[in-house]
Chain A
Amino acid sequence: MTLHHYLILAAVLFCVGLMGAFTRRNAIVVLFSVEIMLNAANLNFIAFWRYSDNPELLHGPMFTLFAIAVAAAEVAVGLALVIAVYRHFKTVDLESMNTLRE
């Protein structure tokens, strides 16, 4: 296994997430996709860490831990927003949320 296997895998996962975020109408699915992208980035961190010269410094896990903590908070806030939006618009369809246009 080389570093490149992991990096390409992360790229594939990231783009799968990107694709989801770009193509789906449902705000919750877009949140899924964002989570997938974040995890792909975490995978990159860990892979780079493990293949680095001195993995005992634990840089990668540090970053990843931060990213996970922030992502968890982000999911909580994001879902709260989605629910608030749902109460207001009676839908979580992104296409109908265009009030900023006016």
Chain B
Amino acid sequence: MNEVIAFWILSAIAVLGALVAVRKRNLIHGVFALLVFFAGLSGLFLLLLAEFIAAVQVLVYIGAVGVLLLFAIMLTERVAGDDGRRMTSRGWSWGLVVAAAVFVLLLLSLWPVQQLSMPKAKDPSEFLTQISDPGYDGNSERKRILNSVRTIVNRWSN
């Protein structure tokens, strides 16, 4: 249950962050929204037990790319952003249509995936309990990391 709540919250953060990042007139605000999106995604990685990727996500994206983007904005546009000019490009509605078409295509392509029933045992929560079971024959280092991750997840979920 905790993962379900965590998933919805994190995905809401990610989607909202992405939306704000691409729609914000002020580029600086946009970058911060993008950082929020990166953080949300990092949380989702943790939820999927990819703790190393989550750490890399924080280091590379939030740490490096964000700063790089800020510098680029500083070196090019006025910090306030598009200063009242049209924000969107010519024929932007066509862009929306194409994006929607891609979305429909992606959903359609999920259709055959649904037919493959995922083994219930592979649900991350059960997987987590399974491999953190004392009888589980894994190496102790990995178990330790996973336990700490579970603690973090549980704390976030609560």
User: Can you list 12 A-B pairs, Cβ within 8 angstroms, ordered by A?
Assistant: A2-B118, A11-B103, A18-B98, A18-B99, A22-B92, A28-B73, A51-B122, A60-B50, A65-B53, A68-B61, A72-B64, A83-B76
In the complex the two chains form, what is the Cα distance from A71 to B89 in whole Å? 25
Does the CB pair B50–A64 fall under 8 Å? Answer: yes
- Majority secondary structure of chain A interface residues (helix, strand, loop or mixed): helix
- How far is the CB of B37 from the nearest CB of chain A, in Å? 7
Does the CB pair B77–A92 fall under 8 Å? Answer: yes
State the interface size on chain B (CB cutoff 8 A). 67
- Majority secondary structure of chain B interface residues (helix, strand, loop or mixed): helix
* Given A39-B41, A50-B124, A94 and B89 contact (CB-CB distance below 8 Å): yes
Chain B residues lying within 8 Å of A101, measured Cβ to Cβ, are none
* Given A75-B65, A79-B72, A82-B76, A46 and B7 contact (CB-CB distance below 8 Å): no
Does the CB pair B99–A35 fall under 8 Å? Answer: no
Does the CB pair B76–A33 fall under 8 Å? Answer: no
Does the CB pair A92–B76 fall under 8 Å? Answer: yes
State the interface size on chain A (CB cutoff 8 A). 60
Task: Check if B69 is an interface residue, CB within 8 A of chain A.
Answer: yes
Chain B residues lying within 8 Å of A55, measured Cβ to Cβ, are 49, 127
- A-contact 0/1 string along B63-92, CB 8 Å cutoff: 011001101110111000010011111101
Does the CB pair A32–B34 fall under 8 Å? Answer: yes
8 Å CB contact of B60 from A31, A53, A72: A72
In the complex the two chains form, what is the Cα distance from A16 to B106 in whole Å? 13
